[in-house]
Amino acid sequence: MKEARVLIVDDEALARERVRTLLSSAPGVTVVGECSGGREAVEAIIAERPDLVFLDVQMPDLNGFEVLEAAQPEWLPAVVFVTAYDEYALKAFEVHAIDYLLKPVEPERFRTALARARAPKPSLTGNARRAPARAPRDSRARQDSVRKARRHRLDRSRRQARAAARGREAHAVRIPLKRLEQRLGAHGFVRVHRSAIVNVERIKELEPWFHGEYVVVLKDGTKLTSSAAHSQALHRIIDAS
């Protein structure tokens, strides 16, 4: 496996430390730098030409997408986004990100993303230079068509809802989520992430995301990202629809 030169970009020191710690146990990885801002990141990408960048989305000067756009004429590395926000996932797909990690990053999920990034591909074998940061318009249109064709629409009786409430009223429940999942599983609820359970009848649609995972769209427009560990349950929903 090729030695991977990695750059860490995040405006939060603790977030950079977290990624650095997770990388410390990975063989064949060298951290060539850390950046706390977008403009600094552009300079580091051009100067260091890393193979892989763990990149935050929201930063004070340039956001993660603007960083890629600014660095693209000189060098475009493989990218794994690391962010606290799930609403940028589809945009990350459009700029050909390897993966999209939500904070706080779980070690197993991180290792999976790193393995995907290090798998043999042109972007990590020296051919990343001058690769397009964004697909051409006609290519993006084709991608949109493919996503729409693959999008699994559930029948109208299945609508969205978060957690255990069918209405808009919120309730505080002091019970471990695992136990709540066991109680609600027989009543039409499914766990889509380690921190989210939804009512199947309130799901509007599932949008394919990275590597068999989904963006779960609820009726009120809320979007939740499914984790790989819970994608099988979502597959069962699709099969039953």
Dist CA 8 CA 34 (whole Å): 5
Residue 164, both tokens: 């255990």
The pLDDT score that the predictor gives to residue 59 is 93
pLDDT, tens digit, 9 for 90 and up, residues 21-43: 999 989 999 999 999 999 999 99
| H or E segment to which residue 83 belongs | strand 78-83
Count of beta carbons in the 10 Å neighbourhood of residue 162: 17
Q: Is the pLDDT of residue 3 over 80?
A: yes
Q: What confidence score (pLDDT) does residue 215 get?
A: 79
Q: Look up the pTM and report it.
A: 0.54
Query: Angle 107-118/13-24 helices, nearest 10 degrees?
Result: 70
Ramachandran sector of residue 131 (left: φ over 0; alpha: ψ -120 to 50; beta: rest)? beta
57 versus 197: the higher-pLDDT residue is: 57
76 or 140, which is more confident?
76
pLDDT digits (tens, 9 = 90+) for 54-113: 999 999 899 999 999 999 888 889 999 999 988 888 888 888 899 999 998 999 999 999
